[in-house]
Structure formats: structure tokens, C-alpha cells
Structure 1
Amino acid sequence: MNPVSPPSTRGLLHDIPVESDNDEYGSGSADRELIEGDFTFRAVAVGLGVGVILCMTNIYFGLQTGWVSMMSLQSALLGFAIFKLLPHLPSLFPASRPLTPQENVVLQTTAVATGTMPLAAGLVGIIPALEMLTIKEDGREPIKLGYGSLVAWCLAVAFFGVFLAAPLRRQVIVKEKLVFPSGTATAQLISLLHKIPPPSKALKPSSTAYRRLPRTSRSVSPPERTVTEEAAIDRYDAVEKDSEVMKGSGWWALGWSFFASGSLTVLSFLFPIIFAIPIFDVCSAPFGASAAATWMWWFTPSLSYVGQGIIMGLAVTVSMNIGMLVGWAVLSPLSKHLGWAPGPVGSTTEGARGWILWVALAIMIAESIISLLPITISSASTLIRHYRQRSTGPRIFQPSSSPRSSNVTDDDYYDPLDENEDDDPEVEPPERLVPMSWIKVGLVSSSILGVGLVWAVFGKDGIHPWATALGLVLASMLSLIGVRALGETDLNPVSGIGKISQLLFAVLQPGNVVANIIAGGVAEAGAQQAGDLMQDLKTGHLLRASPRSQFYGQMIGSLASVFVSTAGYKFYTSTYQIPGPQFAVPSAGIWLNLARLLNNGHLPLHVIPFMISFGLIFAIISAIKAFKKYLPPYRWIDYLPSGIAFAVGFLNSPSFSIARLIGGYIAYRSAKNSRNGETPLLAIVVASGFVLGEGVLSIVTLTMASAGMKAVSCYGCEIGGGGYCSGGC
């Protein structure tokens, strides 16, 4: 589950007008020089190294809170920093030849493919859910896969999404020109790092859409400038300021934020009370209770979660904290005191945590289904229109002046669209594209491999081969919806896609909880992987990296991550109790509870009215937000909470949400103090350092814990009854 895809593009998308709406590069894309040699050993090698770091980071955060990010910006930053800080590399990394922007694209593409496998393979969701099965609830023992079986499962879902992304690129990037905010922001960051003009943001004095005022005219009184000119100058200044940041101060900020977050992570392992400060006991002491030990209310001063809040922004973190207050300050005590959840508050089976999780599930299902409606309608209408145009119109081939004039094949035609629709032919020559024959063979081969390996791993008691095949078909159908939603909003609705699959397979294989979870995971994996990789293809499209080189990087990264992700997951599960006090694995609870509901119909006492009420509320909110363009421009619509973020506030203990709110407020204040009203790039860089610092140093603490090392001191962990400190206490 990827409950919140953080809008990591904040502060980078400076919307500077360009000379021509049809010229995506601002200077004639057909005549633009193609940069060859982007697929290099050093780019792939460093990309794999960065990807391993991101993979372990995502396993850590995914098991802890369900938060997983593709981290394309961080990949580009880290990759560039490696080449910047190590000028005397071996001959395979010659210092005399700087890293090119196109190599950086391949580097971050490889890293993203490596780093996102924990989510695609369900290592932070469906695999822990299968390990949480019980004979009492599900009629069967937990399924705990060994290393070999887990590698086989990851191989089963590792490549289908990669082959799905390649053919979708031409439709959603070349023809429809969807924004893909994170991919566009990554392209702009890479352009800043390499000191090249921002893609699609060419600043030309001759442009009729944007006229750059001379430096000497900057002191002209405001009435002598138009609003458009003022806005354009502010945006231009923002780009110049970002360029200055990445020349010096940005790297110091990245290094110090990484060091601070990493140091705090190691200290929290040695002194666990640092990450579980019982400050809320002051409020509960008069009532003879410990808010921390009894109700899980403590404060975690985690810089990584502050960084996540900066990346997410204030609106998302406020929604998350409203959900946290409703779930943990209202519904949790209510269910406990009325006897609806008699077990310990932190229990996901008989405690209040498990009780409010059902309410969160209802909210997520309601918002996921409603939010998919507009994009589903749009996708269906687009496909129908293109089908009609293809069936009635001629097949039009590109003229000889096109860069694809050589080696023209049957795949070189494009659909004639109506005169009002902006459509460009493919700008890349055939030798830089992924051949359609590769895609066809790859889709068939990865499907056969997936069906066979899933059958081999889970056998007849798991899921039938035809059901796995149907899950892959469903993934291919829903991936277009997910990719288009991602391209327009930067949110990949994979959680909704997974739940739709679970609903379908509750009918096709009733009573089989295992099949329900696996089928949903297969469908979600393909759609999620296709969406995340499409962001990278957008980055490459803007910077003219070879799509075929990116495809190679995606395949190599996905293959490597099969073994890295499996080893990382096994490392964590052998060292820590999962689920446990430090790694609650909330995503697994969502998967398992929905499967149980659909197959067994068992729900905790009195939770149904709350599920229906909250589901209806957020279905209405989601519908208003989804169709707001048809409504009067009421300002209050923009202040409606996000249902997914609200539900995440239920899933995570309060400490994580509070830390994220601090980050959201920092982002808000930073944006308010900037000239263009956007979060500055420096804040994004600091947030990236915070996230990466804890993620990377968590590998060190994991190694220390696996070696048998314990906390130096557990002082403070027993205050108020204790029970909330982890790390060996």
C-alpha cells in the first residue's frame, strides 16, 4: 500500500511560459541534438548502489508506517553527489568525463526500479499479511516463505509492470503530454544540477509568451509592469535561486541534514526513550493513567518524519493529524471503554488499534472508488474516441523530415485526432525506442513466468493459475487508469486498484483468504510499477534520454531488487518482531482485514455503523473534490481533508503524524516567505537529507541489533508503566 504519495514536486515546478505550446523543448524538438551514450556502466552501477539504499529505506519506512516513496528526486541528488564528491574514481568512473544529464536519468531510473520493489512485491503489505494468518480467524496456519520462495514470488511480479510501462509511454507522454509532476520535477532538478536550461521552460527574450525584462528595469515602479510580467520575473528568480542553491549551500544542507537524522537514529537505538518521549503523560496523570503506556500517545522527534512532512506539505499533514485525533483521541478510547475492543490498545486483533483500523479501511475504499470515477470516465472516453478515429480514419505515416524517417515500421503511424486535440508524433528514432516485438514477447513471458512461479510457491491451497492470470489482465486494464491519474495528479491510486481486485476475487474464489490477498497483490504490483516507471520515462522524455536505455535500467534494477529486497525483508523479520512495537506493518492489517471481511464476514462489535458513517462522509467529500470543476468555485472545497491521509492518521500511532505535521508547517512557512509562494528547493533538499539519514542509518542499527547489541540505557522507558520503548528494552 502506498497510502500517501507525497507531492515531492513542491517548489520545483516553476510554471514559466514557453514560446510554443506544441514545442515541448522550447527550441524545436525535431531539430534537437540527440545525446547518445547515456546507458553506461558507471550510471547503472551507481544507480544500483543508490537503489539498494532506497530499497532498504523503503522496507524500513514501509514496515513502520506503510509509507513508501519512489524517491526519484533523492536518487538524482545522491547519484550526482557521488560523482561530485568522489572526483578520483577508478578508471571505470573517469573524473575527466563529467556525469551527463542523460546518464543521471538512467541512474535514477535504475535506482527507482531497485528501490520500489518492496511495495511492488508486497513486502510491506501482502507478505506480512500472509504471515499474520491464524487458524482461529482464517482456518489455516500462517504462510511464512523461505528465502528461495520469496525470491520466486518477487520474480513473479518483477517484470510485468516494466513491460506495461513501455507501450503506455507513447500514449500518455508523447501524445497526451500528461504532466507527471514528480517526473517533470526530477527533470528540472537534474537540469539544475547539471547547469542546463530547464526542460520545457526555455527562457527566450524573443518569446511572445514571455518577455524577460532587462536587469536595469527591475526598479521600475509596479504600475508600469503587467501582472504577467511580475509573475514571470518571480518565477525566473525562483529558477535562478534554485541554481544558486545547488552550487553550494544545497550540498551542505543535504550533508548536515543527513548527518543530523542519522545521528539521531543511532542515538535512539542506544537510548530508546529518545524516540518514545512520554510528554502526553502530563495530560493523563490526573486521571491515574499513562497516555504513553496505555493509549500509545508519545512523541517521536524523528527528523525523517519531519522531512516527510515537508515533502507532503501542510494540507496532507493536517488531514493526517485530524484523522489521528479522531481515531486515537476519540474512537480508540470509546471502543475500549464500551468493551468493543477489550484487548490491549495496541493489539490489531482484539484491541482498539484493530477496531479503528476497520474504520480506516472503509474510508480508504470509499475514497479510492470515488476518486477513480473521473479518471475512469476520461480514460474510457479517450479510448473510445481513438478507436473510432482509427477505425474510420487513414493510417498516416510521418513525413521524411521526421527523426523517425529511417527504418519506418508498422509501429510508426499515429492516430489522426480531431483538429482541437494537440498531438505530436514520436520524437525518438526507432533505434532509441523499445521495439514492439520486445514488449509483446516480454508481456507474454512475464505473464507465464508469474503464473508458474505463483503456483509453484503457493500451490493448490493458494490461488489457481487462472486466477493469477486474471489478476495480471486486471493489472494491465487498471494500469492505464492509474498511470493517467498519476500523470495528472501525482497520485497513483494503487490502493484502490488492489481493493477492487480483492472485491472481484471474493466472488471468483470465495472463502479463500490467501487467494484474495495474492490476487490483489498481483494486480496492484503491475499497476504500481507501471506508474512509478512512467514518472521516470517522463523525466527521460524531457531531457532526451533514450527510452531504450531507461528500459535496460528498469530491467536491471528490478532484477537486482528481487534479491536485495528479499534479503532486506528477511533481515528485518529475523531481527525484529513483525508486527511489533517498532514495526506495526499497518498495510498488512488493511490487506488481511479486507480479505477476512470479504470471505468470512467477521467484524468487531459495533464497528459497522462507524464504517458506514465515515465511508459515506468521505465518499461525498471525494465526489465533491473529484467533480469540483462542475461546481461553483467555492473556496471551502480546497480545505476539505484528504480521505487517504485521514485514514493514515488512523493506521499510524500518533507520534508519526505529529512529527509529519511539524514538517508540513515548516513547508508552509517556507513557502509563505518565498516570492513565488512555493516550498523552496533548499527545504526539499533538507527534507531529503532527513529521510535518507534515518533510512540509511537504520541499516546500521539493524546490523547492530542482529549482532545482539542492546540499548545502552533504558532509562525513562518504565515511566508510567512503560511498555512503549523498543530497541532491546
Structure 2
Amino acid sequence: MASQDHHDDDGTDDASATSAAAAAVNPSIEQVFKNIEVPPWRKQITFRSVFTSAVLSFVFNVVVCKLNLTTGVIPSLNVAAGLLGFGFVKFYTTLVQKWGMLKQPFTRQENTVIQTCVVASSGIAFSSGTASYMLAMSSRVAAQADVGNAPINVMKLELGWIYGFLFAVSFIGLFSIVPLRKMMIMKYKLTYPSGTATAFLINSFHTPKGAKLAVKQVRALFYSFGGSFFFAFFQWFFAAGDGCGFSSFPTFGLSAFKKRFYFDFSSVYVGAGMICPYMVNISLLVGAVLSWGIMWPLIEQKKGSWYSADLKPTSLHGIQGYRVFLGIATMLGDGLFHVVYMVVVTTASFLARKRSGPKDSSTVKPDEDDESSDSQLANYDEKRRREYFLKDQIPNSGAAVGYVVLAVLSMIVVPIIFQGRLKWYHILVAYLIAPVLAFCNAYGCGLTDWSLASNYGKIAILVFSSWVGLDHGGVVAGLAACGVMMNIVSTASDLMQDFKTGYLTLASPLTMFLSQVIGTAMGCLMTPAVFWFFYKAYPLGDPDGAYPAPYGLMYRGIALLGVEGFSSLPKNCLKLSIMCFFAAIALNILTEVLKHTEKKWRIYRFIPIPMCMAIPFYLGGYFAIDMCVGSLILFVWEWNKKQQAKVFGPAVASGLICGESLWSVPAAILALAGVNAPICMKFASASAA
């Protein structure tokens, strides 16, 4: 799944899956690279790799920030990171080699460093909460809530404390999981599907045939990037005011437009729809139809009975309250199910492995009569990977000391930042619990490719906001605790994914750790600056604006539930919320039951995903329509040229996403400079014409 609340659930995309499948046919990947020297860890992290990572990190921070501030649906950008990293450095090394000045060839280990840094940096753009829990503290979002907006429950957003908070909490998760790397990667051989697919993709780039294909993919990415950028530039000319431009085109008529059903010509979400699984996009559309097509019109008929007719449109005591809290209930139901399910799966798998003992591939004896047997080739790969994975070690004592030092630093800094709303002992409790949750998340991610970081964050909001109380700043305290918990749990699973990638590309684990640290530092530097750029240029959090930032109000709504209980909900909202909560759990149970019982029809693939259904409750269906158009394009492409679509589809989609997202930077500069578009293109009914 590809949404803000399931950041890593998008799993492997088609191109990665193709590479993984190809590798499975020929398991002896390392024999291809047998005669290529593996550089020591100091030479795997180079100036050119760090510089390339910094450039791409800025691009991806802008992309993720825009996606967070619009709908919160974030597709996997790993392929784009790997492709662009390969393309940039390959171009540079080819050029330098022609001049006879190339000192070090471009290796798959260096490619892995770039991909790790970029993904770690863009991961901070997600876990920083600039579009969710951090924005929820601001007066802009608090003004929409009617309750809980006293000064003690509002935090003025300033770059200084945002930087301080991120640097205080973003690195500690890296130290929490380091001691378990051998157990998870070598002893229990967890799959980590995204990390594995990324490794196979990078390995394929650095074979002669793979390099030629990668160059073609990079070219396709840049073509779609250019088209997306210039189309966004073209659209800007017609958007001189609110409700102007192509983004307000009433595709299905004005009545449908008022219920937020229209195609808004956003190449970002067309591209996202090409990357996300079909069922994600269909679930978004189903959620939009159920909410804006059925539920909200029925509830609006109760205006004056269920809620006051005099309330402002953004009030959580009116129709907006039903939109937000029913969405929250659905997300909490989905999140609770997956947390419990993951704990059960993790515990069962862990106990089973304990009883059966680890499967050590070094004890596998190849068939002596068959020198080309798959078992012997696989065993050769495994021995070579183990050799390099054990070569450069990170001391467990150093990881423990790092965790304690950073925890103490956070216990000092975070309470100062939030002016005593969150106490040092609250932070201590969070850091005592966090390693267990980080293990559960990293272990479960290795089994299923699901990261539940945002679900742990929502639980932290409820627990700590209730603990502190409304009169003592419980709203801000709960949201800050969410940030503390999310950063630990998210970075821990990301690091273990990177260890798996490095294991399969022979990148040193020390290199992977340092790459993650460098990428995290880049994210901590870039994310607040990029967010601040948008924050000053646009009215973020406005439900009718270009950047509604839906998770800002939703996360604040969860905090209000924690401090006020259900008394803050409008009439009958609790009953409807309970129904949505249990409906989400029921859909998940039905999916898992069908997945493990019926084999022939695989009906479970057609059951909507509750988390995705909940996102349009607040926003409407326009972006879901965009994403379904992306799915349709990919479907037709695969129907005609399946292999071409699998190879080039993710690259084209990534270009569409990056192009329009990067246009946001010059658009924001123009907005800050007071430069408006010259034309307003609007649509009206015939009677008003």
C-alpha cells in the first residue's frame, strides 16, 4: 500500500519484481561479479556519491513534501532513486574516462550508497511529520477544531525548534536496531522484499546488458519528467485565483465537481497511480464514492438536527467532524488490526525459528556430481555475501552507548523545545518501549514488507495526550510523542532494509550504516527548509486550497480524542465511527481468511483496503480519479506490450511525479514574489453565464 500511513507498504514495484524474478532464475549473481574487485568500505562512500545523493535528496524532499501536503499518498520512489543515481554517476564516469582521468570505477556498492542516502533523506520528509503531527500543532490547523486551541495546546512553527527536534530524535532509531542485524539478515534470513528487489535492481544495472537497459530507463524518466514539468508550467498561466485553471475542470459536470469528483490534470497522481497496485487506486475510488457520493449527502440532510446549521464549514462539530473522525476511526481500525496481526505473525515466526533452529546456508553441501547445480551456485553466493557482511563490524557496545547518549540528549532537548508540555519522564518511557516496537516493526517488515510506524505513532498520540491532559498541553504533548515514536520505529525498519540491500550487493554493513546516517542528516537539513518554503508561500491546511495537508487535521483530531474523549464528537458521530472502526477490522479479517483458505479464485485481491478507503473521506475523489487514470494507462500499456510496460512503466511514472513536483519550487518563488498568473480559467453553469 502506498499511503502516508503505510509508508513502506507499497512493496516491490513491477520493475523490481522483474529483476528479482530474473535473479531467481539464475541464482549465481556473484559469479557475474567474480572478477570485479569489491572496494573497501572507505572507497564505497565517495565524494561523487555523497554529492549525487545531496542533489537527488533535494529533489525527493520536494516530491515527498508536495505529496504529503496534498493527499498524503506516497508511492515507492526507490526505483527512481536507484535509476537517477546510476544515470548521474554513469554519465560522469563515462565523461571522465574519455579524458583519461577516472581514478575509481562506478561500482554497485557506490550505487547502493546513493540509493540508501536518498531514501533515508526522503524518509525523514515522511517521519518528520511536517505535514502531519508537526503541522497539527500549528494555529492554522488548530483554528479548524473549535476546541483544544488554547495557547498551551498550540505550537508556533519556527525553523529553529523544528531543526532541533529532528536532530534530537531522528538518529536514535539507527542505534536501536544495529545489534540485531546478524540475527535478522543471516540467522533468520528475513526476506525484506523491498530491500531485496532494490538489490537485484542495482545488481542488474552493473552488468553490461543491465547497464544498457538502465540508460534507456533513465532516458524515459527524463522525457516524462520534462513533459510533466512543462505541462505544470503551462497550467500555471490559467490559475490566477481560487477555483481557476485546469485543476478545477468540472470533468463530470458541476454537480459532481461540487462533490469533489473531477479529473484535475495532475501528472503527479497519474504517475503515482502507475506505481501503486491496482487495488490501492480502486480502494481510494471506492472510499470516495462511499463518502462523498453516499454518506456525506445523507448526513448533510440532518443539518440543524445532528449539528448546528450556523457552524463554519471547517468546524469539527459540523460536517467536517464526520469527515475527519470517520476517517480516523477507519484508519485506527485498520492500524490496530495490522499491529496485532504483525505481533502475532512476528511472535509465531520467531518461536518457530527458535524451535527449528536457524538455517545456515554454510552447512549446505552442494551436489558433487553436478558442478552447475543451483544449490552449489546459491551456496557460492551465500558464502561470498556472508564474508563481506562480516568483514566490517559495528560494535554492539558502540550502538548501545549511542542509543543511551542520544536518549539522554532527547530527554534534555525535547522538553525545552515544547516548553515542558512533554516531560523528561515521558521521553524516557517512550525510549524504554521503543526498542521493542522497533524490533517488532523491523522483523515484521522483513516478513511482509509492511512498516507500521505511523500506527505506533497514532497509539503514542492517544496514550501521551491522555496522560498529560488538555489543561497541561496534552494535544501538543501527544503529537510530539508521536514524532518521537515514529522516528525511532521508522528509521529502524529502513536501516534493516538497507542492511539487506547491502548484503545482496556486497556493500559493507558499516557503509550502509554511515550512508543511512548521512542520508538522515541530509533529510534533517533539507526537510524543514523545503517545508518552510511551502509554509510561507501557501495557506497549508486549508481544506479547499491547493495544499490541504489532510493528515494535519486528522492527527490533531486523534490528539483531541485522547484529551477530551468522545465528548468532542458531533451527534451520532461516535456510532458511525464505531461502525467504521469495526468495518475496517472486518475487511482485514475477511482478506486474511480468504488469503489462507481459498486458492483457485483469489477473491481476496478484490477486497478494498480500509486505509486507502479512508483517505478520500476528507479530501474527496479527485486525486483517486487521477490515480485510476494512471492505472488505466498502465493496464492498456501492459495489455499491448507487457514486458515494455514492466521495464519502463516505473521510470515513466517517476518522471511524471518528479516533474510536476519540482515545478512547485518556481511556483512558490513566484507566489512569494507576488507574481500571479495572467489568466483565470473558470467554469460556470449555463444559467449563470
TM-score normalized with structure 1 length: 0.80
Distance of aligned partners of 1:17 and 1:716 in 2 relative to their CA distance in 1, 3 Å threshold: closer
Match of 2:410 among 450, 453, 462: 450
**Compared with structure 1, are the counterparts of its residues 251 and 138 closer, same or farther at alpha carbon in structure 2 (3 Å cutoff)?**
same
Alpha-carbon distance between aligned partners in 2 of 1:344 and 1:583, rounded to the nearest angstrom: 23
**Partner of 1:296 in structure 2?**
260
Q: Take 2:531 and 2:254, find their aligned partners in 1: how far apart are those partners?
A: 38
1:389, distance to aligned residue in structure 2 (A): 9.3
- The answer as to 2:63 corresponding to 1:104 is no
2:156 maps to 1:150: no
Distance 1:266 1:343 in 2: 40
Amino acid at match of 2:237: L
CA deviation after TM superposition for structure 1 residue 376, in Å: 0.6
- Shift of residue 388 of structure 1? 8.1
Match of 1:547 in 2: 509
What does residue 186 of structure 1 align with? 198
Q: Which residue of 2 aligns with 1:42?
A: 48
Structure 1 SS opposite 2:548 = coil
Counterpart residue identity of residue 121, structure 2: T
Matched, 1:171 2:209: no
**1:157–1:450 Cα contact (<8 Å) kept:** yes
3-state SS of paired residue (2:539): coil
**What's the offset of the Cα at 1:77?**
1.3
Counterpart for residue 333 of structure 1 = 297
**Aligned residue runs from structure 1 range 498-517, under 5 A:** 498-511=457-470, 512-517=474-479
Aligned equivalent of 1:203: none
Q: Which of 333, 341, 346 does residue 374 from structure 1 map onto?
A: 341
CA shift in 2, pair 1:185/1:92, >3 Å? farther
Residue 188 of structure 2 aligns with an amino acid whose one-letter code is: E
Matches within 5 A, 1:571-650: 571-580=533-542, 581-601=545-565, 602-628=568-594, 630-633=596-599, 635-650=602-617
- SS of 2:388's equivalent? coil
Could you tell me how far 1:658 is from its partner in structure 2? 0.6
Residue in 1 that maps onto 2:651: 685
In the alignment, the residues of structure 2 paired with residue 172 and residue 28 of structure 1 have an alpha-carbon distance, to the nearest angstrom, of: 26
User: Closer, same or farther in 2 for the Cα pair 1:95/1:426, shift >3 Å?
Assistant: closer
CA distance in 2, matches of 1:116, 1:354: 30
Corresponding residue for residue 224 of structure 2: 257
2:680 aligns with 714
- Letter of the 2:413 partner, please give it: L
Give the whole-Å Cα distance in 1 for the aligned partners of 2:639 and 2:312: 40
In 2, the alpha carbon distance for the partners of 1:20 and 1:57 equals 35
The residue number in structure 2 matching 1:137 is: 147
State, as a whole percentage, how many aligned pairs show the same letter. Answer: 24
Equivalent residue number for residue 77 of structure 1: 83
CA distance in 1, matches of 2:506, 2:426: 40
Deviation of 1:588 after TM superposition, in Å, equals 1.3
- Superposed, 1:59-78 pairs within 5 Å as 59-68=65-74, 71-78=77-84
| 1:13 Cα offset (Å) | 1.6
Mapped partners of 2:22, 2:225: distance in 1:
35
How many residues are matched?
640
CA distance in 2, matches of 1:441, 1:20: 44
For 1:58 and 1:19, locate their aligned partners in 2 and report how far apart those are by CA, in whole Å: 32
Structure 2: give runs of 5+ residues left out of the alignment: 364-381
Q: What secondary structure sits across from 2:289 in the alignment?
A: helix
Query: Residue 347 and residue 10 in structure 1: after superposition, are their counterparts in 2 closer, same or farther (change >3 A)?
Result: farther
Counterpart Cα distance in 2 of 1:497 and 1:93: 53
Aligned partners of 2:250 and 2:683 also within 8 Å? no
Root-mean-square deviation over aligned CA pairs: 3.5
Q: CA deviation at 1:54?
A: 0.8
Pairs within 5 Å for 1:155-234: 155-195=167-207
Q: Which of residues 506, 526, 537 in structure 2 aligns to 1:564?
A: 526
The one-letter code sitting in structure 1 at the alignment partner of 2:247 is A
Could you say which residue in structure 2 is the equivalent of 1:227? none
Aligned counterparts of 1:513 and 1:93: Cα–Cα separation in 2:
61
In 1, the alpha carbon distance for the partners of 2:185 and 2:666 equals 40
- SS of residue in 1 equivalent to 2:5: coil
Question: What is the 5 A alignment of 1:295-334?
Answer: 295-334=259-298
1:486 corresponds to which residue? 445
TM-fit CA distance, 1:346: 6.4
1:12 corresponds to: 16
Distance 1:168 1:325, change over 3 A: farther
Paired residue type of 1:707: A
Distance, in Å, in 2 between the alignment partners of 1:430 and 1:256 is 42
Higher mean C-alpha displacement, 303-312 vs 616-625: 616-625
Which residue identity lines up with residue 622 of structure 1 in the other structure?
N
Give the TM-score normalised by the residue count of structure 2.
Answer: 0.84
Instruction: Say whether the 8 Å CA contact 2:595–2:604 is kept in structure 1.
Output: no
Tell me the equivalent position of 2:248.
Answer: 277
Distance 1:344 1:621 in 2: 34
* Structure 1 residue identity aligned to 2:503: H
Pick the structure with more helix per residue: 2
In 2: Cα distance, 1:424 partner to 1:255 partner: 36
Q: Distance in 1 between matches of 2:343 and 2:170?
A: 26
Shift of residue 714, structure 1, vs aligned partner = 1.2
Partners of 1:102 and 1:158 in 2: CA distance: 25
Cα-to-partner distance string for 1:636-662 (whole Å, 9 max, x where unaligned)? 222111111111232433211110111
1:115 aligns with 2:151: no
